[in-house]
Structures are given as C-alpha cells and as structure tokens.
C-alpha cells in the first residue's frame, strides 16, 4: 500500500458521500466500489507482467531495464512472460513494420484482459527515423490503443521506468464501478482488433470500405492521389 | 586450392584477374572503365563460367557481397555487383553483370557460391531481377504479393516527397506537414489502381510454407511423424522478430528455412534519399549492439570514395586511435551479450546474461560520456570523429551507490581495460566454459565444415570457428590495425562450442589491443581528432563506387556505395554479416534436434536490425 496510511484511507473516501472532518480519523470506507477498486488496482499495478516481446533496438534497453542495474522488479514487473496469455503489458519496443503488425495485432488479441500497451521509442510512437520507409507503420497507435508513450531513440532505462510509473498511475485511476473507464469493466467481452491483411500493401480491415469505394469510383480515385501529390509539389 | 595462386604483389588483383580472364574468355569480359569504378563487366550469358573460373583457378573462393544497382537515367540498366575475395587475404575481384530493366534476368550464381542465395533473393525482392537457376526464388524481406520492387529508382514510397534530402518542405523554410495528412488512408500505404479487396486472399503466408509439404504425415512403418513447425516471429529464443519454418521428422530437423523481414525498415531506400552524413545515425541502428563499429564501416566506405577526389584529407592519427578504441570496446560488449544470449538459449535462463549486462553497462557509461548516447552513438565522421574524449566522466543520471559519478576519463578507462574487463572475461570463462550445460549441449552440435563455411559466405566468429583464419583486420587491414599486435582466433570443429570459444578468445584479443591503445591515447592527447577544418556537413564525394568493410563483432560488415557526384548516395547497400551468416543456418541445423536449432541460432549471434535492415 502507499507509504502513508492516512493518504490511502483518504483515497477510499467517496467524494459524493463526504466524511465529516471529525470522523475522518475513524471512518475509512464510505463506498464499497471505491474500496474494491483500490484493492484491485493496488494488486494490479504492482504485478504487471510484461510480455517477452522485443522488436528492435529498444528491446535491448528494455533488457537493460530488466537487468540488475535498473531492476524493474522493484515495480513488480520482473516476471517477463513469453506467452501473451500470461502477460498484462505489451511493450512495443521498436519499429513496427507492415509485415510485423499482423503478428502484433494477433498477439494483442490473444492477451487476456486487463491489458495495457506501452509504446517505447520514437518508432513505436510514430515511425521515428524510419517513418518514410515503405515497410514501416507510422506508429502502433494506428492499430492498437496505446496507454503510455515513452519517447526517445531509444529511451534510456530511466525513461522506461518513468513510463512504468505513469502506467501505474493510470491504473490507479480505474474504477470498477464505472463501466466506461476501461473496456474490461463493461458488460460482455470486448471486441478484438481486426487483423491487418498483407495485400499489395498492408490493409487495415477497418478501412476496407475506403478501399471498396475507391475501387468503385475508379476514375475519381485516379484524381484523388495525384491531387495529394500535386499539393506537395505546390508547397515545394 | 589457394596454393596454386601465383603471387603477384605488384599487379593489382583486378589487373591480374582481368588479364587472365580476358585470355580465357575473349569477348565476354571487359574492364569496367567508368570513372571511379573498378572490376570487370561480364557478359551475362557466360557469368557462371567466369565465376566458376575465378573461384577454382584464381582462388576467389569467398563471395562477400552480391547486390544490385539501378542505373535509371545513367544507362538504363540494372547491374548486379559481386565482390569476391580470397580467404588467404587481399583485395576484391569485382564482377558485374548488366541486364535490361524491363525483363531483368541474370543467371544465378548459387551453384558457384552458395552464399549468394539470400543476397540474390534480396536483389529479386527489392530490385526485381529474376535469377535463373536459383533454388528458391521468392521474396525475402517483403512478403509475397507486395506491389513492385522498392529499390528501383522509379518506384515511389507512399510518403514520397522528393528524390533527395534535404526536403524543401523542411529546409530552409521548414513548413513540416505530417505525411499522414497527404495520404487518403492516413497511413503509410498505397495500393495499385486495379486492386480489388473483394475475393482477395493474401499469398503471403502460403508462400512461406511453399515446398515444405505442409501438414502432418504419418506412415505406418515409422515410429515418428513428419510435420512442419513455425518458430517465431514472436518466440523467446529467436532473438527478436526472426522466424524459422522447419520440417521435422520426430524431433529431427529435415529442412529449415529462415523467414525474415519482420524488421525490414528500409535502411537502403532511406539511405539513398539521405545525404552522406545523414546516413551516419542510421548505421547506428543496423546492428544496435555495435553502433560504433557500424559507424566505422560506413566512414571507411565513404572515405574510400572521397579519397578518389581532390582535397581529401585522411583521418588523423588521434582519430584512428579513438576509432579502434571504440570498435574494440564494442566487440567486447557484443561478445559478452552474445554469450549471455547463447546461455539463455541453452537453458541457463538470464543468470549469465545479468553478468554480461553489468559489464555492458560500464562500457555504455563510457560511450555515453563520450558520444552523448548509450546505444546510438553517431560518433564517426568522414575524416575523424565527432568529438574527443571528455576530460572527466560524470553524470547525475548514473548513480553508483547513490554517489554522483565523477572520474578522470583515462583513469576510468585504465581501470576498465586493465582490471575490470579482464576479470569479467575470466569470470565468464571460468564459470561457463567447463559448465556441463554448455559442454553437453554445444560440443559436436551444429557443425559447419570448413568448405561449407567458405562456400556459404559466413563471416566473423562463425567462419573462424570452422577453421578459416579470415579476419578483415588482417586480410585487408584498415585503420591502425597493422601496427597493433593481436592474433586471429581460429578453432577447427565448427560446432557451437567452438563458436563460443572463439568469442571468449576474441574478447581476450580485444583486451590485448586495448592495452596497446591506452598509451597511444595518452601520447596523442590534445592532437586533432578530425582531419582538416572539422565539422564537414556536406563532404565532397566524387562519382564512383566503393566497398568499405570492417571486421564487426558479428562478422564482415560491408558498405557498397555508388555516388554520382552529388550530395546523396546513388546506391547504398549494407552487406550485413548477420543476414548472410543465416544462409548457413539450414546447413548447420539439418539432422539435429529442433531444440538444438535454438542453440545453433544463438551461436550464430544474429541481430535483427541488421538481418532485415
């Protein structure tokens, strides 16, 4: 629990049912939902199991973070699991390529909820130095919901640890009683992210309607993409 | 075979080979007489003959690099460039073959040099040259079904802005617009005009298993069954996003195919848009354990080209000392981590790795103090280095027992090189070399015979563990290696254990070099670390080609650069040791158990940033 017991108790107070000041030292719980959420989150934030999943350069700094000098086990995160089924946190540690985004989305779908995604480094955030490359996805958030972004190329282990702390703070804010705070507190299973298809280029099934519309209006489409290019040229 | 090679010290190998080859093949071989170019141009119809002759009679038994160049607008042909060497040392025989851009076809050289296998597949994938007689010609870095061949000069990527950097949108006016906003899909994608999603099935996965006889095949007379398994791209023991598709019988591997490209981030194409200096930080990200020695390889390749032009000043002595210091420290980092990873694969999960990482952290402290970055150092420049060693190493970010670090740099180095690292190498050697885990799982496993090691173009510790004393630092010396005393480590069995031992001994040799570097560092203190005025942002690179290579920790790293005299390379190719060493993976794994494949892969020591580029 937090270092200061009083602070922790104050967290349990429900702002909608305030405790009179004279009772604050003896009354702890005014809301069962808040108590349950706090206990849930406390357990969850201190036992986040990352997936053993390295993509590129950042993965090496991720290993350095796990090694003895920086020691991420101080945060209860040292149990690095090779299987997505046992992992809570997916650290996208490196450049996401079009070829790799398919397995990444599949792995994300295989992870059991609650699950978090941390985008580590410039490439995972937005393509980084390789953004203009023909095989590079401009950031994993084009496909997956990202919880924490850790900038850097690569981020130092200290930066990654800061990202972990940010994630813990985020987990602290989640409420069991609020089904909208996170998908897994809602009713029913949450939807899987559709798998991208490796066609002539990578295809996001969520954009399939755009592709069809474009194929339908064969003539207009020819006008659309050169227009974008001519914009560029005009600026240049 | 190399004994019969006539010793011709005064003739350059190309001259000598050219005269021999011209006598042998009149009309089929001619000298490449373009300015700044070297080597010979061979008639494609007789390419295989010429290559066979060069290998068997002239002794060029080691194919280092094979790559393609698109000369659009400069003759409108595609050119395949082969760099062949003798394993006894010396300069390259550069063989070129040209083909039409439309119907690009060349004979495959895999029968002559099996090491051309993956490199020809790469040339097919990225340049669209078909190789006749290639055993398995399919895309290697991209997926089957991808539209076009991206390294062709007339192919444009989705975020295309301009042919060459600096882009007008960013400099000098600097009105940057996010590339996504120009794309109708908001993503880095483009589709051919006639593409129809309805009824489309992706051929990408099916192509991986082609010729693998997918499925399970149980025969009544056999106690075992044959099946195809896929390891990766997400697998704890594949060192990143690498994938192996293996056909196994029971547990025995019958056929194994590496599947790569999951980290293909277009170094070469981006490199051709960049200016020469802009590529330096990109080389950091090739083999991200060894950013400093990658820098060195690229600097050497460009300096070779620059030396053709006027007003070129070679790097100063101080710069060379700094370069060797950095390269050898990098070698120790790499071998430490490689051994740690190998032990992970062998079952000693993460304990040796922790010890390796401690030493890595100490060396990284030094790198950070000198270059400003732990991993991506971006330190070398054409003609020297970016900066000198700092007087003191200090930093609040690096707390040891909650004290602020503050050391005299030379004292720090002296302690590191003379005490700390030898002790760490001894420790690893003592605990691991005779350990039962290591010996039982390594000795006699993953054997690569000497002849195959050469034929498959393996490099670095993999080649030297198979009994070939080939080290670029000795075979074609660069920097100040000729005046340094060290031995080329060779082992003869070619199994995992020997590759492991080669790495241990190379660390000891590196320490030997570093001990000789220390006094040189002190002698040259205060001397310029950059030739000329320093701070050259746009070096004059004359037109021509160069192939610069260094002995990276993982093997021979080569940069093939073609310049047209402008500010950007026309062609920028990386001969990545990890990529080409993987050609030998199937040969090493065949007949061993599937569990051994993991250890064999660990003993090759690949890094995906370099395999896929």
Interface check for A139 against chain B (CB to CB < 8 A): the answer is no
**Of A150, A171, A192, the domain-final residue:** A171
pLDDT at A86 over 80: yes
Strands B62-71 and B77-85: antiparallel
* Chain B interface, best mutation among A85, A199, A225, by max B CB count within 10 A: A199
Q: Where in chain B is the domain with CATH 1.10.645.10?
A: 267-612
Question: B15-74, pLDDT tens digit by residue?
Answer: 777 788 888 888 888 888 888 888 888 888 888 988 898 888 888 889 999 999 998 888
Per-residue confidence (pLDDT) for residue A232, from 0 to 100: 41
Does A63 share its domain with A24? Answer: no
B509 — pLDDT class (breaks 50, 70, 90): very high
Does A61 share its domain with A35? Answer: no
- Can you name the residues that pair with B218 across neighbouring β-strands? B225
Alpha-carbon span A124 to A131, nearest angstrom: 10
- To which H or E segment does residue B519 belong? helix B496-523
Mean pLDDT on A45-55:
87
Question: B518-554, pLDDT tens digit by residue?
Answer: 999 989 888 888 887 655 677 888 888 999 899 999 9
Contact A198 B357 (CB under 8 A): no
Per-residue confidence (pLDDT) for residue B490, from 0 to 100: 92
Mean pLDDT on A45-70:
87
Nearest one of B113, B154, B122 to B140, comparing CA atoms: B122
- To which H or E segment does residue B130 belong? strand B130-132
Strands (DSSP E) found in B501-575:
544-552, 555-563, 569-575
Which residues on B lie below 8 Å from A153 (Cβ)?
376
A233 — pLDDT class (breaks 50, 70, 90): very low
Any residues with CB less than 8 A from the CB of B25 and at least 6 apart, and which?
B42, B46, B49, B50, B53
Does A154 share its domain with A73? Answer: yes
Alpha-carbon span A129 to A136, nearest angstrom: 10
Task: List strands edge to edge, sheet with A116-120.
Answer: A89-93, A116-120, A148-150
Does A39 share its domain with A117? Answer: no
Neighbouring C-beta atoms of residue A150, cutoff 10 Å = 27
Per-residue confidence (pLDDT) for residue B422, from 0 to 100: 92
Which residues on A lie below 8 Å from B159 (Cβ)?
131-132
Per-residue confidence (pLDDT) for residue B533, from 0 to 100: 67
Interface check for A174 against chain B (CB to CB < 8 A): the answer is no
Which DSSP state fits B4?
G
Question: A173-182, pLDDT tens digit by residue?
Answer: 888 777 777 7
Per-residue confidence (pLDDT) for residue B58, from 0 to 100: 85
- The CATH number that applies at residue A124 is 3.40.50.12280
Residue A197 maps to a domain: no
Per-residue confidence (pLDDT) for residue A150, from 0 to 100: 93
Does A167 share its domain with A62? Answer: yes
pLDDT at A18 over 60: yes
Per-residue confidence (pLDDT) for residue A230, from 0 to 100: 42
- To which H or E segment does residue B440 belong? helix B436-442
Q: How far is CA B540 from CA B268, B537, B568, B569, in A?
A: 21, 10, 10, 11
Give me the CATH code for the B267-612 domain, please.
Answer: 1.10.645.10
A16 — pLDDT class (breaks 50, 70, 90): low
Which residues on B lie below 8 Å from A197 (Cβ)?
200, 202
Residue A195 maps to a domain: no
Give helix then strand counts, H and E, for chain B: 20, 18
Q: Are B418 and B77 spatial neighbours (Cβ–Cβ below 8 Å)?
A: no
**Candidate from A134, A158, A225 with C-beta closest to B397:** A158
Question: B310-342, pLDDT tens digit by residue?
Answer: 778 888 889 999 999 999 999 999 999 999 888
Residue A194 maps to a domain: no
Question: What Rg value do the Cα atoms of chain A yield, rounded?
Answer: 22
Which residues on A lie below 8 Å from B374 (Cβ)?
61, 156
Does A85 share its domain with A16? Answer: no
Cα atoms in the Cβ-side hemisphere of radius 13 Å centred on A77: 26
Interface check for A211 against chain B (CB to CB < 8 A): the answer is yes
Burial of A224 (0-12, 13-18, 19+ CB in 10 A): exposed
Does A143 share its domain with A210? Answer: no
Read off the tokens for B90.
């010396």
pLDDT at B221 over 70: no
Which residues on A lie below 8 Å from B282 (Cβ)?
129
Per-residue confidence (pLDDT) for residue B295, from 0 to 100: 92
Mean pLDDT across chain B: 85
Which DSSP state fits B592?
S
Residue A51 maps to a domain: no
Neighbouring C-beta atoms of residue B155, cutoff 10 Å = 17
Q: Which residue has the tokens 């550069």?
A: B94
Does A64 share its domain with A99? Answer: yes
Q: Are B536 and B382 spatial neighbours (Cβ–Cβ below 8 Å)?
A: yes
Three-state DSSP at B511 gives helix
Percentage of residues of chain B with pLDDT beyond 70: 93
Interface check for A214 against chain B (CB to CB < 8 A): the answer is yes
Burial of B324 (0-12, 13-18, 19+ CB in 10 A): buried
Strands A89-93 and A116-120: parallel
User: Could you tell me the fold of the domain covering B2-132?
Assistant: Beta Polymerase; domain 2 (3.30.460)
Taken as a whole, chain A contains a residue count of 236
Instruction: Give the residue numbers spanning the domain of A108.
Output: 57-171
For A198, the closest chain B residue by CA position comes to B202
**Chain-centre distance for alpha carbon B96:** 21
Mean pLDDT across chain A: 80
Does A21 share its domain with A102? Answer: no
Burial of B402 (0-12, 13-18, 19+ CB in 10 A): exposed
Does A158 share its domain with A208? Answer: no
Neighbouring C-beta atoms of residue B226, cutoff 10 Å = 18
| Number of separate domains in chain A | 3
pLDDT at B586 over 60: yes
For the ranges B183-187, B196-200, B273-277, the maximum mean pLDDT occurs at: B273-277
Q: Where in chain B is the domain with CATH 3.30.460.80?
A: 2-132
pLDDT at A148 over 90: yes
**Candidate from A67, A100, A225 with C-beta closest to B263:** A100
Question: B339-349, pLDDT tens digit by residue?
Answer: 988 888 888 87
């Amino acid at each position: 629990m937090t270092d200061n017991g009083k602070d922790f108790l104050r967290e349990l107070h429900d702002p909608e049912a305030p405790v009179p000041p004279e009772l604050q030292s003896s009354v702890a719980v005014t809301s069962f939902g808040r108590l349950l959420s706090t206990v849930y989150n406390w357990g969850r934030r201190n036992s986040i199991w990352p997936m053993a999943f390295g993509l590129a350069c950042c993965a090496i700094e991720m290993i350095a973070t796990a090694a003895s000098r920086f020691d991420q086990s101080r945060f209860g995160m040292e149990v690095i699991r090779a299987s997505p089924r046992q992992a809570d946190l997916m650290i996208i540690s490196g450049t996401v390529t079009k070829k790799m985004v398919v397995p990444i989305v599949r792995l994300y779908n295989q992870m059991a909820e609650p699950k978090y995604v941390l985008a580590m480094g410039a490439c995972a955030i937005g393509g980084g130095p390789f953004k203009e490359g023909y095989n590079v996805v401009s950031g994993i958030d084009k496909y997956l919901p990202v919880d924490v972004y850790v900038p850097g190329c690569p981020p130092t282990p200290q930066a990654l640890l800061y990202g972990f702390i940010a994630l813990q703070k985020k987990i602290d804010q989640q409420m069991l009683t609020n089904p909208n705070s996170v998908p897994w507190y809602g009713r029913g299973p949450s939807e899987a992210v559709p798998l991208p298809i490796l066609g002539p280029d990578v295809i996001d099934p969520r954009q399939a309607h755009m592709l069809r519309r474009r194929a339908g209006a064969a003539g207009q489409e020819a006008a659309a993409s050169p227009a974008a290019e001519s914009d560029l040229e005009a600026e240049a | 075979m190399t004994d019969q090679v006539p010793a011709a010290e005064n003739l350059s190998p190309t001259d000598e080979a050219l005269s021999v080859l011209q006598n042998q093949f009149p009309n089929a071989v001619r000298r490449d007489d373009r300015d700044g170019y070297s080597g010979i141009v061979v008639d494609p119809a007789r390419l295989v003959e010429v290559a066979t002759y060069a290998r068997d009679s002239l002794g060029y038994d080691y194919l280092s690099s094979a790559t393609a160049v698109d000369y659009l607008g400069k003759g409108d042909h595609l050119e395949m460039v082969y760099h062949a060497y003798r394993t006894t040392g010396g300069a390259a025989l550069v063989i070129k073959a040209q083909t039409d851009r439309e119907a690009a076809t060349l004979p495959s050289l895999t029968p002559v040099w099996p090491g051309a296998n993956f490199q020809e597949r790469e040339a097919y994938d990225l340049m669209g040259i078909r190789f006749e007689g290639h055993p398995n010609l399919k895309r290697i870095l991209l997926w089957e079904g991808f539209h076009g061949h991206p390294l062709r000069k007339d192919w444009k990527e989705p975020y295309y802005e301009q042919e060459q950097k600096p882009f007008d949108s960013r400099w000098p006016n600097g009105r940057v617009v996010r590339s996504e906003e120009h794309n109708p899909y908001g993503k880095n994608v483009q589709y051919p005009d006639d593409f129809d999603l309805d009824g489309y099935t992706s051929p990408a996965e099916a192509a991986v298993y082609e010729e693998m006889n997918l499925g399970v095949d149980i025969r009544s007379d056999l106690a075992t069954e044959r099946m195809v398994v896929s390891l990766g791209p997400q697998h704890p023991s594949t060192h990143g996003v690498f994938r192996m598709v293996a056909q196994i019988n029971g547990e025995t591997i019958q056929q194994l195919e590496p599947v790569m490209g999951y980290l293909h981030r277009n170094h070469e194409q981006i490199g051709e848009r960049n200016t020469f200096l802009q590529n330096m930080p990109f080389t950091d990200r090739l083999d991200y354990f060894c950013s400093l020695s990658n820098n060195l390889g690229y600097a050497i390749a460009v300096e070779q080209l620059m030396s053709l032009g006027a007003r070129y000043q070679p790097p100063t002595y101080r710069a060379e000392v700094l370069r060797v210091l950095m390269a050898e420290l990098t070698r120790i980092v790499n071998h430490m981590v490689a051994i740690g990873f190998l032990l992970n694969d062998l079952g000693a999960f993460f304990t040796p790795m922790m010890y390796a990482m401690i030493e890595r952290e100490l060396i990284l402290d030094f790198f950070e103090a000198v270059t400003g970055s732990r991993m991506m150092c971006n330190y070398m420049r054409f003609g020297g280095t970016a900066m000198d060693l700092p007087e003191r190493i200090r930093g609040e970010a690096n707390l040891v027992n909650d004290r602020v670090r503050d050391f005299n740099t030379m004292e720090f180095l002296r302690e590191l090189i003379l005490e700390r690292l030898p002790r760490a190498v001894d420790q690893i050697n003592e605990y691991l070399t005779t350990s039962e885990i290591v010996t039982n799982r390594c000795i006699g496993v993953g054997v690569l015979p000497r002849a195959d090691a050469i034929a498959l173009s393996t490099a670095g510790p993999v080649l030297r563990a198979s009994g070939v004393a080939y080290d670029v630092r000795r075979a074609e010396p660069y920097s100040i290696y000729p005046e340094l005393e060290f031995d080329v480590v060779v082992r003869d069995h070619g199994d995992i254990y020997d590759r492991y031992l080669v790495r241990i001994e190379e660390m000891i040799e590196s320490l030997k070099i570093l001990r000789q570097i220390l006094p040189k560092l002190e002698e040259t203190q205060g001397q310029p670390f950059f030739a000329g005025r320093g701070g050259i942002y746009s070096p004059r690179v004359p037109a021509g080609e160069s192939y610069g290579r260094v002995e990276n920790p993982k093997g021979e790293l080569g940069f093939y650069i073609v310049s047209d005299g402008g500010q950007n390379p026309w062609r920028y190719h990386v001969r990545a040791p990890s990529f080409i060493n993987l050609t030998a993976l199937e040969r090493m794994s065949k007949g061993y158990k599937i569990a051994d494949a993991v250890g064999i892969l660990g003993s090759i020591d690949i890094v995906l940033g370099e395999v896929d580029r």
